[in-house]
Amino acid sequence: MPKATALPPQPRKAAGAAASTGGQFDTRTHSEAPVSLAGPAVTADNYNESVARALSAAKAYETTDIEEMTDAEFDRLQAAILSYEEANGITPDHGLHTAVGHGGAAGGDIEHATLAGSLDKPGEEKVIEFAEKHPNAVIEPKIDGMAIIVRYKDGRLFSAAKRGDGYTGENVTEKVRGVEGLPEVAGDGDFEVRGELYLNDENLAKANAVRASQGKDPFKNARNGVAGMMNKDDSTYAGLFNFAAYSTTVLDGADHLDAMDELAGMGFTTARSLLPQSVLDAEDPMSAIAALGAERKGLGFLMDGAVLKVPTAAEREELGEGTRAPKWAVAYKYPPVEEPTVIEDIEYEIGKTGRLSIRARYTPVDVDGSTLEFASLHNVKDLLSKDIRVGDTVMAYKAGDIIPQVHLPRADLRDPSSQPWQPPAACPKCGGEFDKSTELWRCTNPECSVSGRISYAVSRDAGLDIEGFGGTTGDALIEADLVKDVSDIFHLSEDQLANLKLGTTDSGADRVLGEKNAQKIMAEIEKAKAQPLNRVITALSMRFTGRTFGRRLAAQFETMEALQGATVTQLANVEGIGEKKAAVIHAELAKNAPVIERLRAAGVNMGAPKPKPEKGAKAPKLVTADGGAMNVVITGSLKGSALGSLTRTGAQELIEANGGRAAGSVSKSTSLLVCGEEGSSKWLKAKELGIPVVTPDEFAKMLEDGEA
């Protein structure tokens, strides 16, 4: 079971960022040493098993959409195997380091004219060395998909094959006809084009829509998508690929750049044409590589590296081919954008708006240049559907390069005794109940969050009755720190409201409250300044000053000043309050003095002493024969009656303004029941106790005529 950890308040984030995740956590990265999941070194004990694991992963990688490990994990495992073999003089025959495909690919029925090899990825130092040795080398994007070798005969697409084992490959001709960037007709000659079959974001989305319609999980990424789609016998994904060429025999003996231009002229997409080219500076090749890498996000397709190539045919000939890759090119692979790590805890926080945010804390891990430690987990539903558990191995990545996320819990690495995560039963901050009506759970305790307090303060029934202030608008004001307590409402400017950011539109523009709405709310705020004192007291959201006590305190002290000056004993004498509550209210009043002062400064009603009844003035209407206040209970709907415009609190205020006392339930001490529904439980009780019952209309008349 994950333990619930209530966090100390976190530094604020921009409202937009918080809104996009529903999260409140500070997601800054962290500087502890990252974890490496390289696994144990390869030893005599695990050598065979390590090779088998690598071969199995390579096979799955080549022929299915299943990724048994990440590329970085695979590369580390392969390097560990190689170094064990070198240290022990082993000459392996498993094919993991030879030809292509890391032993994963089988040959096929199409023979390649020349070796369809891989690319050497020698690491930064060797890449720099290569650039220094070949100052005329060009740089181009390395697209992450699947290599295909396409042959044209008389200018018509004749065959297409996978790379296979480097010598022969599977025939995929019919699968690639009609693919974007790969024309069916090109000139009139015989030639070969090699290039990458890949998925841009648009085609990945389309392919995933196909999968969704078949009830299948989406592809994990575009690379796995291509492998999975090429493996299918059906034509479900026909046309949903992209193609970009990176080598050709179309111009015999020509410079690489000319050959690529020629292809582009024939209607091919070339790898070079996909990205604005940076020029390779032999003195500082890494800066050009970094510049190309900086374009990675927002490209709309996967690019996993940069390729440095010697462009002239003569030099290529001279340098020749290695056993698995040409010697005239090298690739630099960009650091992975996600890394595996282990979830250590699932943590909760209740934000200012009362929303539950959930995040995972995991073993710190280096991803694309920063160390990550936390991931936003969105909402309860999302977390349950992903089935992420404490102890799980997950992939950590940066979403939009700011807010880290995790995905893909690895069921195969899961401790068999691990338990599914359980959402918290109650608010971890106050123990209150959750409102689960939307995906972002919210604590319903008004005292638990700023938002809870503010929505209570502006509510029509209990508070200052300010319309248009709840929901999104209220939350946005709170997120933007424009409203921290009720007094801030009365110091808002029309400009602040008009420019309040409520979210973003579909096209990414800011959605603001706007002038018209701002004017309406300003008018509501102005009107609220005249609300009766009892509502102002209640709107302060102090403990024990809800509707009923708000009214009793207002009736007793008449002005805010008098209430603030009241001693604990004076407060305790108010009906129903008593010593204990009085001490709390006294302390709350002192604590809220600055808020009250700001309300006063804004012109909010602070009450006025009641004028002494003049001689001959009418006596209050709701008094008993012995001069005490009548206990009046109002129940049922007031709609359609003479009291129809009143809320429950409004009706209770009316009773008290007429000298009565509003009560909630019928008992022996009830003097009168106002009830429009014969036969209701209160009506029956009143009849049973012999208490007079009047309809709302009769009651309104009573107050007019003074016939109580």
Ligand X SMILES: NC(=O)c1ccc[n+]([C@@H]2O[C@H](COP(=O)([O-])OP(=O)(O)OC[C@H]3O[C@@H](n4cnc5c(N)ncnc54)[C@H](O)[C@@H]3O)[C@@H](O)[C@H]2O)c1
Rg of the chain (C-alpha set): 37
Coil, helix or strand for 397?
strand
Q: 352, 598, 595, 564: which is closest to 477 by C-alpha?
A: 352
Q: If you search the block for the tokens 């690598």, which residue do you land on?
A: 54
Coil, helix or strand for 672?
strand
Q: Say which entry of ligand X, Zn ion, none residue 246 contacts (CB below 5 to 8 A, set by partner kind).
A: ligand X
Quick one: which of 19, 21, 42, 67 contacts ligand X (CB under 6 A)? 67
Measured over the CA atoms of residue 422, residue 423, residue 424 and residue 425, the dihedral's sign is: negative
Given the complex with ligand X, which of 142 and 355 has the nearer CB atom?
A: 142
The yes or no reply on residue 221 touching ligand X (CB under 6 A) is no
Q: How far is the CB of 269 from ligand X (least distance, A)?
A: 12
Calculate the alpha carbon distances from 234 to 177, 238, 300 in Å: 14, 9, 26
> What is the C-alpha separation between 213 and 77, in angstroms, rounded?
37
Quick one: which of 81, 119, 651, 708 contacts ligand X (CB under 6 A)? 119
The yes or no reply on residue 142 touching ligand X (CB under 6 A) is yes
Given the complex with ligand X, which of 269 and 445 has the nearer CB atom?
A: 269
The yes or no reply on residue 118 touching ligand X (CB under 6 A) is yes
> What is the C-alpha separation between 198 and 366, in angstroms, rounded?
27
The yes or no reply on residue 271 touching ligand X (CB under 6 A) is yes
> What is the C-alpha separation between 376 and 360, in angstroms, rounded?
7
Count of positions on this chain that bind ligand X (CB under 6 A)? 26
Query: Exposure of 411 by Cβ count < 10 A (0-12 exposed, 13-18 middle, 19+ buried)?
Result: exposed
Q: If you search the block for the tokens 């308040």, which residue do you land on?
A: 9
Given the complex with ligand X, which of 100 and 396 has the nearer CB atom?
A: 100
How do strand 661-663 and strand 631-635 relate by DSSP bridges? parallel
Q: Say which entry of Zn ion, ligand X, none residue 142 contacts (CB below 5 to 8 A, set by partner kind).
A: ligand X
> What is the C-alpha separation between 526 and 520, in angstroms, rounded?
10
- Is 333 known to sit in a ligand binding site? yes
Quick one: which of 107, 141, 336, 432 contacts Zn ion (CB under 5 A)? 432
Quick one: which of 399, 430, 602, 694 contacts Zn ion (CB under 5 A)? 430
The yes or no reply on residue 392 touching ligand X (CB under 6 A) is no
The yes or no reply on residue 120 touching ligand X (CB under 6 A) is no
- Number of residues that this document lists for the chain: 708
> What is the C-alpha separation between 488 and 494, in angstroms, rounded?
13
Residue span binding ligand X (CB under 6 A) among the ranges 128-136, 142-150, 280-288, 666-674: 142-150
Q: How far is the CB of 179 from ligand X (least distance, A)?
A: 15
**Residue 311's Cα: distance from chain center in Å?**
45
Q: Tell me which DSSP letter residue 448 carries.
A: T
Measured over the CA atoms of residue 519, residue 522, residue 526 and residue 527, the dihedral's sign is: positive
Site string for ligand X, 228-247 (x = CB under 6 A): ------------------x-
> What is the C-alpha separation between 315 and 133, in angstroms, rounded?
12
Given the complex with ligand X, which of 260 and 450 has the nearer CB atom?
A: 260
Q: Say which entry of ligand X, Zn ion, none residue 432 contacts (CB below 5 to 8 A, set by partner kind).
A: Zn ion
CB atoms within 10 A of CB 478: 23
Query: What six digits make up the tokens of 662?
Result: 């509003």
**Longest Cα–Cα distance in the chain:** 121
Residues between 559 and 618 that touch Zn ion (CB under 5 A): none
Residues between 89 and 108 that touch ligand X (CB under 6 A): 100, 102, 104
Residues between 522 and 541 that touch ligand X (CB under 6 A): none
Q: Which of 59, 121, 133, 142 is catalytic?
A: 142
Q: Say which entry of ligand X, Zn ion, none residue 445 contacts (CB below 5 to 8 A, set by partner kind).
A: Zn ion
Q: Are 622 and 658 in contact (CB under 8 A)?
A: yes
The yes or no reply on residue 357 touching Zn ion (CB under 5 A) is no
- Is 309 known to sit in a ligand binding site? yes
Query: What is the layout of strands, in order, in the sheet containing 338-350?
Result: 370-376, 356-367, 338-350, 393-399, 403-407
Q: How far is the CB of 350 from Zn ion (least distance, A)?
A: 5
- Is 579 known to sit in a ligand binding site? no
The yes or no reply on residue 119 touching Zn ion (CB under 5 A) is no
Q: How far is the CB of 380 from ligand X (least distance, A)?
A: 32
Given the complex with ligand X, which of 27 and 393 has the nearer CB atom?
A: 393
Is 142 labeled as catalytic in the residue annotation? Answer: yes
Query: What six digits make up the tokens of 640?
Result: 């359609």
Write out 120-178 in H/E/C secondary structure.
CCCCHHHHHHHHHHCCCCEEEEEECCEEEEEEEECCEEEEEEECCCCCEECECHHHHCC
Quick one: which of 429, 547, 581, 621 contacts Zn ion (CB under 5 A)? 429
Quick one: which of 10, 46, 64, 70 contacts ligand X (CB under 6 A)? 70
Residues between 440 and 459 that touch Zn ion (CB under 5 A): 443, 445, 448
- Is 434 known to sit in a ligand binding site? no
The yes or no reply on residue 262 touching ligand X (CB under 6 A) is no
The yes or no reply on residue 316 touching ligand X (CB under 6 A) is no
Q: If you search the block for the tokens 């697409």, which residue do you land on?
A: 157
Q: How far is the CB of 11 from ligand X (least distance, A)?
A: 38
The yes or no reply on residue 330 touching ligand X (CB under 6 A) is no
The yes or no reply on residue 56 touching ligand X (CB under 6 A) is no
Given the complex with Zn ion, which of 307 and 457 has the nearer CB atom?
A: 457
> What is the C-alpha separation between 116 and 463, in angstroms, rounded?
76
The yes or no reply on residue 307 touching ligand X (CB under 6 A) is yes
Given the complex with ligand X, which of 272 and 586 has the nearer CB atom?
A: 272
CA atoms within 13 A on the CB side of 163: 25
Q: How far is the CB of 10 from ligand X (least distance, A)?
A: 36
Query: What six digits make up the tokens of 520?
Result: 């309406």
Q: If you search the block for the tokens 């945010």, which residue do you land on?
A: 357
The yes or no reply on residue 138 touching ligand X (CB under 6 A) is no
What letter represents residue 12's amino acid? Answer: R
The yes or no reply on residue 196 touching ligand X (CB under 6 A) is yes
Coil, helix or strand for 108?
coil
Binding residue numbers for NAD(+): 71-75, 118-119, 140, 163, 196, 309, 333
Indicate the annotated binding residues.
71-75, 118-119, 140, 163, 196, 309, 333, 427, 430, 448
Residues in contact with Zn ion by the rule CB under 5 A: 427, 429-430, 432, 443, 445, 448
Active-site residue set: 142
* Site residues (vs ligand X, CB under 6 A): 57-58, 61, 67-71, 74-75, 100, 102, 104, 118-119, 140-143, 147, 163, 196, 246, 271, 307, 331
